[in-house]
Amino acid sequence: VPPGGDPPVGRVGDAGELALLARIARRVGPSAGGAVVLGIGDDTAALAPTPGTLTLVTADALVEGVHFRRSTSSAADVGWKAMAINCSDIASMGGAPTAAIVSLMLPAALEVAWVDGLYAGLTAAAGAFGLAIVGGNLAEAPVVVVDVTVLGEVPPDRLRRRSGAAPGDLVAVTGTLGRAAAGLLALEAGTRGVAGDAPYAAPDGTAARAIESQRRPQPRLRAGRTLGALAGVHAMIDLSDGLALDVWRVCEASGVGVRIDAARLPIDEAVPVVAGRHGRDPLDVALAGGEDYELLFTVAPAAAAHVLARLKAEAAITATVVGEIVTAASGRVVRVAGQDRPLEARGWTHFHLEEER
């Protein structure tokens, strides 16, 4: 019998909704306490917001066969990631996550043990990111869908938006770019049995770390709160779909242009290693690969050195200046080897794969 206290009971359709709900409530544990007035077990959850703060709310879903495969990601990885990608959105506003609602769609033939694993990942992530799972919903569907809504809080003066970038601002990103995209390339290659199976069957350290980043993203919560508190930080977004598309969103919201310098991009060490094996251009993987879950922000030049130092001191993260905001009329460009190229709004989007992953 596992730590949760109850053994797996076959398939979801054998357990039924009521037993499954009770099982989930036992695994999540009592969520009332602190700001949570009512957790799992009533028609709604009830939370006491911190006086004077704004409530942030966002939702993001992982769909089987679209965002993950059960053959290459464990249930716990899926749970972790569903929580992490939502917390990344809270981080990008300068906020702190407080509570999550988990809406699950499950096939009746799914093993209950998979749901247990999913909740192991969800609760581990909730613990790591400091929020409570306060409710949810169960429904039947032909594929697994894990749709998580996360609430967060931020004092009004610390809220950062996509808008607010001004010509002259420097553009900076936390961490490195392209690691998760490199991990996905490695993961898919291993699955398909192509392009050098051996290194992926027993991955070298670089590929293994990249795969781990793809499966278990780490939202930049401390960095987001640090940036929200600092003067001169004008606009912020998390890098979920790739720098090219996400900085395009900042430009759209702010009514500005941008000039990215490819030579300054902090391309992750995994990108050249993995991309080369698949005949992919490392710059392209870094610009349009997606799933970095780093933060991109714009900062007034006079504040930049201070902001980067505070990020290092308070969030233990290195941020790198990769370009500057220009006027809308100056366009959106990326400078590569001394030449300006249009920065296309390419990246991971649904319904189209505008950039082949």
What are the tokens at 40?
A: 């799992």
Binding mask 229-268 for its own copies (x = CB under 8 A): --------xx--------------x---------------
Range 296-335, binding its own copies (CB under 8 A): none
Q: Is 343 in the site for its own copies (CB under 8 A)?
A: no
Give yes or no for residue 294 binding its own copies (CB under 8 A): no
Q: What is the largest CA-CA distance in the chain?
A: 65
> Which CB atom, from 186 or from 236, has the smaller least distance to its own copies?
236
Quote the least distance from Cβ 325 to its own copies, whole Å.
17
CB 262, CB 340: distance < 8 Å: no
Determine if 228 is a binding residue for its own copies (CB under 8 A).
Answer: no
Helix 205-215 vs helix 270-277: crossing angle, to nearest 10 = 100
**Phi-psi sector, 104: left (phi>0), alpha (psi -120 to 50), beta:** beta
CA 263 from centre of chain:
25
When the beta carbons of 335 and 346 are compared against its own copies, the nearer one is 346
Q: Which of 13, 155, 167, 232 binds its own copies (CB under 8 A)?
A: 13
Contacting range for its own copies; rule: CB under 8 A; set: 125-133, 158-166, 204-212, 226-234: 158-166
Task: Identify residue 138 by its one-letter amino acid code.
Answer: L
Q: Dihedrals φ, ψ of 170, to 5°?
A: -85, 150
Ramachandran region, residue 290 (left: φ > 0; alpha: ψ -120 to 50; beta: rest): left
Interface pick for its own copies out of 2, 49, 205, 276 (rule CB under 8 A):
49
Under DSSP, is residue 134 helix (H, G, I), strand (E, B) or coil?
Answer: strand
Binding of residue 133 to its own copies (CB under 8 A): no
Q: Which of 2, 7, 10, 16 binds its own copies (CB under 8 A)?
A: 16
Q: Which is nearer to its own copies, 224 or 266 (CB)?
A: 224
Residue 58 φ then ψ, to 5°: -150, 155
Stretch of 2-10, 138-146, 190-198, 312-320 lying at the interface with its own copies (CB under 8 A): 138-146
By CB under 8 A, the residues from 18 to 47 that bind its own copies are 18, 20, 37-38, 41-47
Q: What's the rounded Cα separation, in Å, for the pair 283 and 298?
A: 21
Q: Which of 76, 200, 206, 63 is nearest to 143 (CA)?
A: 63
CB 283 within 8 A of CB 276: no
Among 23, 27, 67, 81, binds its own copies (CB under 8 A): 67
Helix ranges (H only) for 96-149 are 112-129
Binding region for its own copies (CB under 8 A) out of 96-104, 165-173, 202-210, 307-315: 96-104
Closer of 41 and 232 to its own copies (Cβ):
41
Mutual orientation of helices 179-192 and 270-277 as an angle, nearest 10°? Answer: 30
CB of 162 to its own copies, least distance (A): 5
Q: Is 352 in the site for its own copies (CB under 8 A)?
A: yes
